[in-house]
Amino acid sequence: MKPRAKQAPVLAGCLLEIASGFLESEKLRTRSSHEPRRRGTIIEPVYRDRKKQVRDFLEFLNLQHGAGAVGKLRLADLTMEDIEAYNRILVKRGFSDSQVVKRLQLIKAIIDRAGRPEHGKQLLTWNWDSRDVSHGTPPGERVLPTRKQLVRMLRGADLRGRTMIWLGIGLGFGAKDMAAIRVGQIVEDAYDLRRAKTGVERYGTTPPRVWRYVSLYQQREKRPAGQLLFVTRNGVPLVQSTSNAVTQWWDKLRKRVGESKETLPGFYTLRHLGATEFASRPGASISDVRRWLGHAAGSDVADTYMRTVRPEYREVVEWVRARLQRG
């Protein structure tokens, strides 16, 4: 039997120890998908993403300073050149600007954690804000479906599928919203719920067409109040940690009607379409759109949706608006 290679000793207060402590603290504040959102908590997928991003940074340092370096380097050994080089690599890999910012924020969180007593109250020897910053790619243009594409998708879907399509457009539901909605949260004249991702209040008037399909689907399924409106064939929520039944269904439907991901975006495009239609209504305000989306902040909402509808999208927006008001 081949002897196992000896692992290099990990020094107290090293970057590996600090990063491990940071991830442990992140794990402790992770809530399950069924728990209500509490301030300061994150969901499991967010924790997994952060864990991978921290590991990517540690691997980068090992490449820069030699195998096992993170088990020896302390905060004082982390240079501005290390951070700038990692920043440039992220940009070179094609990450969006928001993703680049998130990864650098994680590094800063590890640096701040080094100041804890158990890590020796370490301080950075240089000014973080003085580094040269490289920005990622700007967000791409949101492509909306055409009227013809929507008609084909609706004709190709069954009652369950058409209900989800109109919920996506009329209430701005994404896949996780679809997996969390319960019987009784949408009634004929109003809906009242919280978006799982943000926990922000989300309520308003139910468009007649949305209620038409929701009521028809509820009549067919006969699920009691409080139960999930949509479940898989096995009776589990649509979105799991390793699977997403909504996107799988959308991909199959898209292929069945002769579309592809190159010609028609994913299911989330319905939310973008609905937000575009809602924001273009007379008198719509930033706070109205923010509540409709379930967003906690309004600046991105203003930049993205509070604009004049582009000429090429006017037909589908007007078509959607007319259909939503018809029960």
Q: Do 167 and 209 fall into the same domain?
A: yes
Nearest to residue 199, comparing CAs of 319, 322, 35? 35
**Residue 45 pLDDT > 70:** yes
Residue 49 lies in a domain: yes
Higher pLDDT, 309 or 99: 99
49 and 167 together in one domain: no
Q: Are residues 315 and 174 in the same domain?
A: yes
Do 286 and 178 lie in one domain? The reply is yes
The range of the structural domain enclosing residue 168 comes to 147-324
- Measuring CA to CA, how many Å separate 114 from each of 133, 183, 223? 22, 47, 52
SS3 category, 185? coil
Chain-wide mean pLDDT for the chain? 90
Buried b (16+ CB within 10 A) or exposed e, 112-149: ebbeeeebeebeeeeeeeebeebebeeeeebebbbeeb
Q: What are the DSSP E strand ranges found in the chain?
A: 30-31, 42-43, 191-194, 201-204
Same domain for 19 and 155, yes or no, is no
Same domain, 77 and 186: no
Confidence (pLDDT) at 206:
96
Query: What percentage of the chain carries pLDDT values higher than 70?
Result: 91
Give yes or no: residues 198 and 244 share one domain: yes
pLDDT above 90 (res 32): no
Based on the fold, state whether residues 151 and 123 are members of the same structural domain.
Answer: no
Give the pair of three-digit tokens for residue 136: 């990622």
| Residues 184, 289 within the same domain | yes
Total domains present in the chain: 2
Task: Report the pLDDT value the prediction gives residue 208, as an integer from 0 to 100.
Answer: 97
Determine the pLDDT at residue 115: 96
**Tell me: the pLDDT tens digits for 110-150?**
999 999 999 999 999 999 999 999 999 887 677 899 999 99
Q: Is residue 7 part of a domain?
A: no
Distance of CA 48 to the CA centre of its chain: 13
Q: Is residue 193 part of a domain?
A: yes
- Name the one residue in this structure whose structure tokens are 């908590």: 41
User: In terms of domains, do 112 and 154 share one?
Assistant: no
pLDDT digits (tens, 9 = 90+) for 155-164: 999 999 999 9
Q: What are the angstrom distances between the C-alpha of 39 and each of 35, 44, 78, 233, 241?
A: 12, 15, 32, 34, 22
- Does 274 lie in the same domain as 199? yes
